[in-house]
Structure 1
């Protein structure tokens, strides 16, 4: 018998995958594609129909014919892109970062997060995340040998708020890192100043790292302003900021992200990056650089459009147990309120309502009761009859 393997449903699976169910979005996407019906509302995954910046498209086209873009070098990412990233960090935090020693370009934001986790975790170290949170973040903690601990987000008429008592309970002597996304998937939770200060206080007391997933940092609604945790007292030295062009810049297929952190640990992150994905997408980096440096990146206009879609859904679903997102691309509905487990609600919604939506199984302990609606990929005109579709599917 090989101890490192387990048998599940006739398959041999390595033990590191034992508690990783996947993310569900892939299966829902496959199911929606299999329906072969143009009328299906695609609310299951984080695609968007809004176009990238024109300058990013132009630079990417040019990069296809550029030999310098068809290269492994430099392994930490093109210099112009790293300089653009630290310039953005200066705008966000007021802090100076060195492009050569404190910034690494990654093959997308999630690859960057995984490389950071591999750089800071010993097997059994604990990582505090919010609940709900993106299953891909939880899965990467597990793959890196970490143990997820959860701080509860409280649904309320004021959107989602962090339960600070739950946060305190999640911290232990084994806490090595906090992995926080704001705005967060799938809830749209946006941490306010008091919540960020509570997180930072626990980081300092536990002598832990803060891994800040900034993928949606500027996708904020109702006039909210971004708060960057690295700018809080004594937090620059223990904060990794991981961003990407996927969401804000609508450049999902480019697979370009970045890691910014203190120089004392970035050499380890560089070693992991070289050992894991090796390098980034060469022809994607010039487009990413153009997105970060162009005169008008379109983010403000896109946020206004996404907020209009959110507002429409909040109104159309006002009689259902939905929770207001304050940023990001998605909102959650508590289907247990009317006696449906989210997987059953999802299946009925696709079969009878022609709506693809992902159940939140594996997205945190309390997430199991929610179904996620992504509003980034469908305009209001297409969403107009969503309440009728839900009624046809669920009878509510």
Structure 2
């Protein structure tokens, strides 16, 4: 049967016309076809703690979460999220009215945009940005306004003057990501204080994506924006279990915010998945209560892996921007005589047996991201060492 079409109008909603297949799907398909090591998509190649996995099995066997869980999330997980915020950041959160469980952080972002943004509203996001940001703003009918993080002295930095100048009378909210994917930048206390002052001054909402909150290195410190003066009632804070506990397929995320903001976001979220990941919610509730040694060991392990891959990339001739957070490294390909990251990444699997992601796809200003590529180091150490060996042996230098 031939699908009915209209010559006057394309099938795809025009708000999504600029978004094709994600770069992650394209690069992962290349990895499968060529047998290359996939350092493109950010998922670990090992499962998380055995006790957390067993907690999910117990929930399944005991019949907890096999039917629809409560719309806001199970009480145990909402209580665990609230306890986590209090223990780590001194943030007092009511688990009954100020926590909402979502199908990962991606749904949380979508629900927040659909709930809080109307057609004509401007949303300022830090460029480069996770690709779902642009799509979620578009689906809400908003206009994204990028403020570019630029490399300076080994770190991608936010120009606070540029951020302030980007705010107009049409600006509805700021979409902030720290620790930042893909650059690995962790916004400093001073930068966050300036963002908070701007939000209060211009009466802006702020959505903060903090999914890498436990993956900060060296002297960096993750500070939730909601802890700053005037921000508690205007900030939607998003996090998830996938990056912290290495169960990315479970898709358990959460939002913390004031009751009014939670009510607004839940109004949109209930018509997306409604609920999800029932048994896994019980397991993540236990995971959030793991001792501090777990989180310390996670950081130490990722720091070792970061340094292994960074050294390998440098040895292969790339300029490395060593991240202060997340599990991604941004590398500059210009020392190799290359300037087009997209072409470079499409050729890299056949050339070296390694897959990376071109950072340009995360920019509106594609030319600013053209020479950068992103590598994920959330893999086993021997895998990273082999990737480094392949890159050097293939003559990338």
Please report the TM-score for the alignment, with normalisation by the length of structure 1: 0.92
Q: Where does residue 244 of structure 2 map in the other structure? A: 248
Conservation of the 8 A alpha-carbon contact between 1:322 and 1:334:
yes
| Alpha-carbon distance between aligned partners in 2 of 1:352 and 1:24, rounded to the nearest angstrom | 19
Aligned 1:116-135 pairs, distance under 5 A: 116-135=112-131
Task: Report the 3-state secondary structure (helix = DSSP H, G, I; strand = E; otherwise coil) of the residue aligned with 2:124.
Answer: strand
1:245 Cα deviation after fit:
0.2
Matches within 5 A, 1:227-266: 227-266=223-262
The CA deviation at 1:172 is 1.3
1:303 correspondence with 2:299: yes
- The answer to whether structure 1 residue 13 and structure 2 residue 9 are counterparts is no
- The separation in 1 between residues aligned to 2:261 and 2:43, in whole angstroms, is 33
Q: Do the aligned partners of residues 191 and 22 (structure 1) sit closer, same or farther apart at CA in structure 2, a change above 3 Å counting?
A: farther
Q: Which residue of 2 aligns with 1:326?
A: 324
Q: Which of 279, 282, 289 is 1:286 aligned to?
A: 282
C-alpha distance in 2, partners of 1:214/1:4? 43
Deviation for aligned residue 1:147: 1.3
Counterpart in 2 of 1:270? 266
In 1, the alpha carbon distance for the partners of 2:114 and 2:146 equals 20
| Cα distance in structure 2, aligned partners of 1:5 and 1:188 | 41
Which blocks of at least 5 consecutive residues in structure 2 are unaligned? none
Aligned ranges for residues 341-356 of structure 1 at < 5 Å?
Answer: 341-356=340-355
Are residues 113 and 92 of structure 1, via their aligned partners in 2, closer, same or farther at CA, if it must alter by over 3 Å? farther
Deviation at 1:360, TM superposition (A): 2.2
Report the CA distance shift for 1:155/1:41 in structure 2 as closer, same or farther (over 3 A): same
Inter-partner Cα distance in structure 1 for 2:199 and 2:7: 36
The match for 1:181 is: 177
Equivalent in the alignment of 1:9: none
For 2:260 and 2:113, the matched residues in 1 are separated by: 15
Match for residue 134 of structure 2?
138
RMSD of aligned Cα (Å): 2.0
Contact 2:338/2:344 (8 A) holds in 1: no
1:47-89 CA-to-partner distances (Å, cap 9, x unmatched) read 1134312321111011112333112131111001001101111
TM-score, normalising length: structure 2: 0.92
Alpha-carbon distance in 2 for matches of 1:315, 1:288: 34
Query: Aligned pairs, how many?
Result: 387
Report if aligned partners of 1:114, 1:140 keep a CA contact under 8 Å in 2: yes
Q: Does 1:383 align with 2:384?
A: yes
Deviates more, 1:303-312 or 1:252-261: 303-312
Q: Specify every segment of 5 or more residues in structure 1 that has no aligned partner in the other structure, as ranges.
A: 7-11
Where do 1:199-218 residues align within 5 Å? Answer: 199-218=195-214
Q: Distance in 2 between matches of 1:395 and 1:222?
A: 29
Q: How do 1:56-205 and structure 2 match up within 5 A?
A: 56-205=52-201
1:85 & 1:358 partners in 2: Cα distance?
A: 32
